[in-house]
Amino acid sequence: AQTVTQSQPEMSVQEAETVTLSCTYDTSESDYYLFWYKQPPSRQMILVIRQEAYKQQNATENRFSVNFQKAAKSFSLKISDSQLGDAAMYFCAYRSMTNYGGSQGNLIFGKGTKLSVKP
């Protein structure tokens, strides 16, 4: 079974600085999707960025980018020019592409990293 590990329960960054959140995963599959979700105090999970495993190019969404190392099974999130509104829980998630049925089609989450942004 696939697992997702986020080794940093909490992180802190100064406003306007850059921070990197770590995520590693375990899988025997070659095709899959990886995601970063943000959960602010409002509790709604918001998709931040998505990476397809078959793409070598790292995904980028404005100030958010990933460092995807497939061989190392690592998927870190870099937030540039951090803003106060970036403060939230960040969850890394894995989804198999193998099929759409059963657990292989579902999102598997890490425990999350709580990010604080200091003004």
Partner 1 sequence: ETGVTQTPRHLVMGMTNKKSLKCEQHLGHNAMYWYKQSAKKPLELMFVYSLEERVENNSVPSRFSPECPNSSHLFLHLHTLQPEDSALYLCASSQDMGLGYTFGSGTRLTVV
Footprint of partner 1 on this chain (CB under 8 A)? 4, 9, 33, 35, 37, 42-47, 50, 91, 95, 100-103, 105-112
Nearest approach in angstroms of CB 19 to partner 1 is 21
Nearest approach in angstroms of CB 40 to partner 1 is 10
Nearest approach in angstroms of CB 91 to partner 1 is 7
Bridge partners of 109? 93
Nearest approach in angstroms of CB 17 to partner 1 is 27
How far is residue 23's CA from residue 79's CA, in Å, rounded to a whole number? 14
Comparison of 82 and 91: residue with beta carbon closer to partner 1:
91
Instruction: Judge whether 62 and 79 are in contact, CB under 8 Å.
Output: no
Calculate the alpha carbon distances from 82 to 13, 85, 90, 117 in Å: 7, 8, 14, 7
The secondary structure of 55-86 as a DSSP string is: --SPPEETTEEEEEETTTTEEEEEE-S--GGG
How far is residue 78's CA from residue 24's CA, in Å, rounded to a whole number? 14
Comparison of 11 and 107: residue with beta carbon closer to partner 1:
107
Comparison of 56 and 99: residue with beta carbon closer to partner 1:
99
